[in-house]
A = this chain, B = another copy of it.
Amino acid sequence: MAFEYLTNLPLEDARKQFLDTLQKEGFGPKKETVPVFEAHGRVTASAVYAHISAPHYLASAMDGIALRASVTFGATETTPVVLRSEDYTVVDTGDPVPDGCDAVVMVEEVIHQSDGTVKLYSPASPWQHIRQIGEDICAGEMILGSHMTITPAAIGSMLAAGVLQVEVLSLPMVGIIPTGDEIVPPTADPKSGDIVEFNSSIFSAMVGEWGAKAKTYPIVPDRKELIRAALEKALSECDVVLLNAGSSAGREDYSAQVIGELGTMLCHGIAIKPGKPAILAHQKDKAILGVPGYPVSGILVLNELLKPLLESWCGSEKKVPAKCRAILARAVVSGLKYQEYVRVRLGKVDGKMIASPLSRGAGVVSSFMKADGILIVPQGLEGYAAGEEVEVELLKNPSVLDHTLVAIGSHDPLLDECADLLHSADPSQYMSSTHVGSMGGIMAVRRGEAHVAGVHLLDEADGSYNTAFIRRYFPMGGVNLVECVGRTQGLMLAAGNPLNIRSLEDLTREGLRYVNRQKGSGTRILIDYLCKTRGLDPEKISGYEREEFTHTSVAAQIAAGTADAGMGIYSAAKLYGLDFLPVCMEQYDLLIPDSAMDTPMVKKLLEVLRSDIFKTRLEALGGYRLENPGTVREHF
């Protein structure tokens, strides 16, 4: 019943067909007239000629006196010429040179006498210090050719030449139609099942970045005749229309039907992931794009199809995105059927550029915000192995990456506070952190992929933290354990503790829903250890296999009532107003390799850790014990 009408056209083919068809249909700018003072950055539609000359009169180029040069001939140091007031006119810079005068003498060379005469000790040459008519621009001259971008100086030149209006190429207008019964305008308090409509805000900003205008239409419910009416209206007002969501093949997806009725369908389904249900169509010279509903799918479809279309508007060349080579931190497995776009974090550690894949969920818009680059896995390729060198399209200025502290390891909200304090103290420095658990952090430092790793690893043998693991994984040493904080671990419970959970033993109670952290995280090691020492069978804890990646996401599940209990730190429980059953105080430290210790970013990080403001921020988060944060506890 579904997917039958979806094609799987390679991106290059789809794009070429889309652009070629629209070019053939006459997609492109009209001419419009705008005031010159508003024309900055616009492109001229036709050549601009001067109305008047600039200057438009003989003008004095100096402060001084205007006169006929011949009256000064013969003046010397010993035989000055004396001029009566009727022989000269006092002029300032820019004043018109009076009729009959053909020279200006600078004020510094004019000796005023008490009787109103002036003395000159040297002759003036004809036309000296006079700006000739048209010195800058002559009337009738071409000031700017057609298809030229209007700069600030071009604005000045046109106004100087009496040109007040200029014919420019119109900017493309992109209409954005959000659709869907479940879609609501942005709100801080959505109901369950409400999907907040933020795609149009993302798309508007992208369209603006590409020099086009965006117009967002009201949200249209999933009714075919309403979608049809909205598309018809947008097509009459815009050059490109984005019909958002409803381009897949669900129960209420009328996009393809409506687009097919009002325009000519070019393709439905492109071999890219995310973004495959995109629709490309046109109505004469107007472009229609059916954009999938997931934000990351939408962003990619706009990047790959709308951006080149807008670049073709004035025939300007396609801008090639900046790229870099990077070592892949983890393997990326991709299907053979699609060209896949994997968002990656980039980090430059010890001279090597490392790419770490981010969440691949099409709904995870924050991953696009965090991404530094895009790794494209071509159609027909199964992916890349960890450690392989790959080419990455850059989303950020590469110089930013040179000044970014790369933190990979255990999650704690204090890392975000560090990043904020570090960048605030020095806006040229950044910190990016990726949450892969304590063990993941140790491995990242070992592979030379991180400047710092947050670790809190309990040694089951003696109850100590971190040092045993570091000795095991860094037998040759070369790393530093920097003290950070003590923090309270415990059970996070629904507010008011309705199930009356009093100990870890209660977790095995029938019907209780636990939510766990991922394997390799320090918190998972802790709960595994606690179960073992207390003789609890994890198999008996319902939900023990449900894994989340951060303390906050565990807390979020409990706060929303989809779980009853989970192990985590006090600050996460406090954030969500949850009840908290303290279990132990653990040491959360930072592992930093020798090679990173002297970088400006690590130095700044240690300063931040020792600062009063860091202490204040952690007090607000709650559940932390600070003794000597930022000091090297042990060098291995």
Contact = CB atoms under 8 A, between A and B. Distances in A.
Copies in the complex: 2
Most chain B CB within a 10 A radius of its CB, from A190, A205, A248, A364:
A205
A209 B188 CA distance: 35
Query: Which range contains the number of A residues in contact with the other chain?
Result: 35 or more
A317 B131 CA distance: 41
Contact of A153 (B63, B208, B365, B576): B365
Interface string A181-201: 010001111101101101101
A427 B145 contact: no
A154 B186 contact: no
A504 interface: no
A423 interface: yes
Interface in A36-51: 36-37, 40, 47, 51
A636 B135 CA distance: 37
B295 A156 contact: yes
Contacts of A2: 63, 107-108
Nearest to A137: B366
A57 B57 CA distance: 74
Given A156-B202, A317-B428, A546 B186 contact: no
Interface stretch (A264-272, A411-419, A523-531, A592-600): A411-419
Interface of A: 2-3, 36-37, 40, 47, 51-58, 61, 63, 90, 92-96, 107-108, 126-127, 131-148, 151-157, 159-160, 162-164, 182, 186-190, 192-193, 195-196, 198-199, 201-206, 208-209, 248-252, 293, 295, 299, 314-317, 359, 361, 363-369, 371, 413, 416-417, 419-420, 423-424, 427-428, 545-546, 548, 550, 552-553, 555-557, 559-560, 562, 575-576
B424 A145 contact: yes
A309 to B, nearest CB: 17
A248 B420 contact: no
A378 B75 CA distance: 36
Contact of A552 (B134, B164, B188, B367): B134
29 contacts: A2-B63, A52-B190, A92-B252, A94-B195, A96-B193, A132-B548, A132-B553, A133-B560, A134-B556, A135-B361, A135-B553, A136-B367, A138-B552, A138-B553, A138-B556, A140-B552, A142-B413, A142-B416, A142-B419, A145-B416, A145-B419, A145-B420, A145-B423, A145-B424, A147-B427, A153-B366, A160-B295, A160-B365, A315-B427
